[in-house]
Structure 1
Amino acid sequence: MTPFPAQAPWPVLKLLQVHCQGEIGKVIVEGAPPVPGATMMEKMAAINHGHDSLRRFVTLEPRAHAAMSVNLLVPPTRPDADAGFIVLQSDRAHPMSGSNCLCVVTALLESRQVPMCEPRTVLHLDTPAGLVRAVAHCANGRCLTVTLRNVAAFAHHLAHPVNTRKWGRMAVDIVFGGVYYALVNVRDIGLEIRPEHARDLAEAGAALKREIAAQVSVSHPDLPGVDTIAYVMFRDIEPDGAVRTCTILDPARVDRSPCGTGSSANLATLYARGLVRRGDTRVSRSIGGGEFTLHVADTCTVGEHAAIIPEITGSAWIYGREELRIDPTDPFPQGFALSDTWGAPA
C-alpha cells in the first residue's frame, strides 16, 4: 500500500468539537482524503499499517493534545448503515468507542448531515467492530440523549492470573466490549477512582497493560485483526450500586467519560458471573462523576463465548468548530509528542 503523503493533499479539514461527559471526541466532517479498503475493518487496517498520516496530523501536537480522540467519518461500506466512522487516537485507529460514538451521532444529527426527526431518530453506524444502532432522543434541534445498541460483548477470561512486578499476582478479567479490555479491581492496586488519583491510576494502567499484553493473548472469533488488549479499565462499586470506572488510554491518561465499550465489557463480566440477566440495567460512573446507563438488551453467543448485546445511554455536546490546514513549509506535518505531556515512549 502507498501511504498518505507526508504533506497532506487536503487543503482544509473541518471538524466539530464535541465532548461526551468531558471526554473530547472531535469529528472530521469535511476535507478528509479517502481511505482504501472495501470494509470498515480493511480501512482501519490500512490506517494502522501505513496510511496513518491523517491520524498523526489530527491527534498529535501541535494541532492536538493527549486527552482527546478524533473521529473520521467514512461513507458506509454496507447498505444497512447510514454513516461510518473510525476512532483515531494517538497510538492507532480503534474499531469502536462508546463515548466517541455518542459524539459522532450528536455531530451527524445536529449538523444535519443525517436528517433529525423529533422526538426520536434512529440511525445505524458502520464501524470496524460491526453495525451499531443508535436511537437519539431529540428536541429543538438538539440530541438530548443517545442510546447505542453496541456490538456483542463477552468475557474471554474471568479472573485470569497475571504476574506483576509491583502488585504481585493479580486476577484480571479479559473481556471484549467493542475492543478488548483488561478489567482490574482498583483496590487491588491500593488506589481509589478519584480525581486526585488520576496520575497514579494512569501510570499504573499503562504499566499493567504492558505486563498483561505480554502474558495474555486474545483473538476475536469473528473479527480478524482484533487481537490486542486495547485498554486497562479500573473498576469499583459505589455505595448506590453503580460501577465507578477509569479506563487508561495511551499515552497513559485517564478517560474522562464512563467509557461505553469498557462499561459494556464490565456488564458482560456480570452476566458471565450470573449477576445480571437479560433486561437488567446498571449505571457506570466516571472518575469525574459523569454517568452512562447500561442495559442488557439481549443475549447471544460469539464463537464459544456466551455474550450480551449491551445498550449504552448517554449524552454528548458540540462546543465549537475548527478548521485545520497545513502549509507546505510546516515542519511538523506528521505531528510530535513530547514526554512532558505524553509520557516516556513505551
Structure 2
Amino acid sequence: MYDNTGRNAEPYQQPIYSILGCHAEGEVGDVIVGGVLDAPPSCKTMHEKMMYFWTHHDGIRKMLLQEPRGRSSMSTNLVLAPCDPRADAGFLIMESDEYAPMSGSNAICTSTVLLETGMIQMQEPITRFSLDTAAGLVGITAECEAGKCKSVAFDNVPSFVFALDKAIDVPDLGLISVDVAWGGMMFALVDAGSCGLKIANSDATKLIEIGERIKRAVQKQFVPVHPENSGIKGVTNFVWSHPLEVGSDGTKEAVNTVVVSPGRFDRSPCGTGTCARMAVLHARGELNVGETFRHKSITGTEFINHIRGTTKVGEYNAILPTIKGRGWITSFKQIVLDPTDPFPEGFRVGDQWHMPAEP
C-alpha cells in the first residue's frame, strides 16, 4: 500500500460487513450475514445479546443506518446464533433510534434472506422454522416455490393491552385519548380522525409532528413495563389508525401508519404494530379469534392476519397473533469503514431526519 505521496505505508484492516438488501411490503430491513462477531457466551438470551450490542457496539448500528451509508427509512438486522435451543437462528433488529425487541417486517426480511440464500434449508411448498428474538421465540411458516420465498407468516409473541382510552395531556393539543399495547414493541395508538387528521401523504407532516409530540407526552406520563421482562419498558413507537371496516370480501380491515423515531413512516403495515392493534381490537370485542384482519399501510401494502388463540401474560389478557406478508431481496452489498472517514458513526441532517427541538 502507498500513502498519498506514493511512499510505502503501513497496511490497515478495513472492516467489511456483508449485507443483503431486503424489504417487506415496502419497509427496508437489510440483513447482515457476515462481518460481525457474536456476543460473548455470558449472554444467555437474545435480550442480553441485544443489550450487549447496544452498550458495547452501538457504533455498528449508527454507521449502517445513518448517512452517508444509510437513511432514515430503513432498519438493519443482525443474524446470530440463537440462545433458545428450539430456534434455528437468532436475530437482532437495529432501528434508527433503538434496538427493537421484535419487528414483523424485519422478521419477514430476515426469514426471506435465510431461506433464499440457503442459510436455512428451503422445503417446498412449506418451510417451518423458529427465530429467537429479544422478545421471545417466533415461529415462521414460509410458502416456497421454485427457490423463492413467496410469503412469510410469523406466530408472534403474546400481545396485550396496557391501557385503553388513557387520557394524555399533550402540550398545545390538550387531552388525547390513547391506547397503549405490546405487540413485540411498546406502542401508543391514536385514531387519526380524533385529531382531525387522515392517513394520507397530504397530512404527512402533521401526522409525524403530532405523532411524535403525543408519543413524547406518553413517555413522560405513563411507563408500561413488560411483566415478564422488566428490561422492556416505555413506549417507543406510535400508531395512527383509522376505524375498523368490512372489506369487499367480507373480511375486517383497517388502515394504519406507524411513526418510527426520529420521525418517519413505516412503509409496511408494521407487524408488531399490527399485533398491538389486534390486541386493542380484541379487548374492545371488535376482532374475534380466527377472524381474518387485513391491515393496510400508507403505501397501500397489507399484512393478512388472525388471532390464533388467547393466553395470559402476567395479569394481562393476551392474544396469540399471526401476521403474514411478503419480502424481496433487493441487493447484495459490502459496507466498509475507511479509518480516515470523518463519519464513522454517520450523521443526520434535518431535511431527511425529523429533529424536533426539546419542548
Report how far residue 197 of structure 1 moved: 2.0
SS where residue 62 of structure 2 aligns? helix
Report how far residue 33 of structure 1 moved: 2.6
How far apart are the structure 1 equivalents of 2:204 and 2:14? 37
TM-score, normalised to structure 1's length?
0.95
How far apart are the structure 2 equivalents of 1:73 and 1:151? 19
Q: Does 1:22 pair with 2:26?
A: yes
- Call closer, same or farther: CA 1:10–1:272 in 2, change over 3 Å: farther
Which whole-Å deviations, capped at 9, do the CAs of 1:173-200 have from their partners, x for residues lacking one? Answer: 1000001100100111111011222222
Which amino acid letter does the alignment assign opposite residue 261 of structure 1? T
How far apart are the structure 1 equivalents of 2:52 and 2:259? 25
Preserved CA contact (<8 Å) 1:10 1:32: no
The aligned residue for residue 328 of structure 1 is: 339
Preserved CA contact (<8 Å) 1:10 1:31: no
Preserved CA contact (<8 Å) 2:311 2:320: yes
How far apart are the structure 2 equivalents of 1:336 and 1:35? 26
Report how far residue 43 of structure 1 moved: 1.1
The aligned residue for residue 211 of structure 1 is: 217
Which whole-Å deviations, capped at 9, do the CAs of 1:248-279 have from their partners, x for residues lacking one? Answer: 00110000000110011010011111222221
The aligned residue for residue 89 of structure 1 is: 95
The aligned residue for residue 303 of structure 1 is: 314
Matches within 5 A, 1:218-233: 218-233=224-239
SS where residue 99 of structure 1 aligns? helix
Matches within 5 A, 1:110-121: 110-121=116-127
The aligned residue for residue 344 of structure 1 is: 355
Which whole-Å deviations, capped at 9, do the CAs of 1:8-43 have from their partners, x for residues lacking one? Answer: 987211111101111100000111132342211111
Preserved CA contact (<8 Å) 2:102 2:272: yes
The aligned residue for residue 5 of structure 2 is: none
Report how far residue 58 of structure 1 moved: 1.0
Report how far residue 144 of structure 1 moved: 0.8
Where structure 2 has 5 or more consecutive residues not aligned to the other structure, the ranges are 1-11
Pairing partner for 1:174 from 180, 183, 186: 180
The aligned residue for residue 251 of structure 1 is: 262
Which amino acid letter does the alignment assign opposite residue 82 of structure 1? D
Report how far residue 101 of structure 1 moved: 0.5
Matches within 5 A, 1:1-346: 11-36=15-40, 37-237=43-243, 238=245, 240=247, 241-344=252-355
TM-score, normalised to structure 2's length?
0.91
How far apart are the structure 2 equivalents of 1:108 and 1:251? 29
Which amino acid letter does the alignment assign opposite residue 89 of structure 1? E
Deviates more, 1:259-268 or 1:34-43: 34-43
Higher alpha-carbon Rg = 2
Preserved CA contact (<8 Å) 2:65 2:71: yes
Corresponding residue pairs, total: 339
C-alpha RMSD of matched pairs (Å): 1.5
How far apart are the structure 2 equivalents of 1:239 and 1:38? 45
Preserved CA contact (<8 Å) 2:105 2:268: yes
Preserved CA contact (<8 Å) 1:10 1:33: no
SS where residue 209 of structure 2 aligns? helix
Which amino acid letter does the alignment assign opposite residue 263 of structure 1? T
Which amino acid letter does the alignment assign opposite residue 14 of structure 1? S
Report how far residue 326 of structure 1 moved: 1.1
How far apart are the structure 2 equivalents of 1:164 and 1:56? 30
How far apart are the structure 2 equivalents of 1:49 and 1:28? 19
Report how far residue 223 of structure 1 moved: 1.7
- Give the percent of matched residue pairs that are identical in Structure 1 and Structure 2: 40
- Call closer, same or farther: CA 1:243–1:150 in 2, change over 3 Å: same
SS where residue 242 of structure 1 aligns? strand
Which amino acid letter does the alignment assign opposite residue 275 of structure 1? E
Where structure 1 has 5 or more consecutive residues not aligned to the other structure, the ranges are 1-7
Report how far residue 129 of structure 1 moved: 0.2
Which amino acid letter does the alignment assign opposite residue 172 of structure 2? K
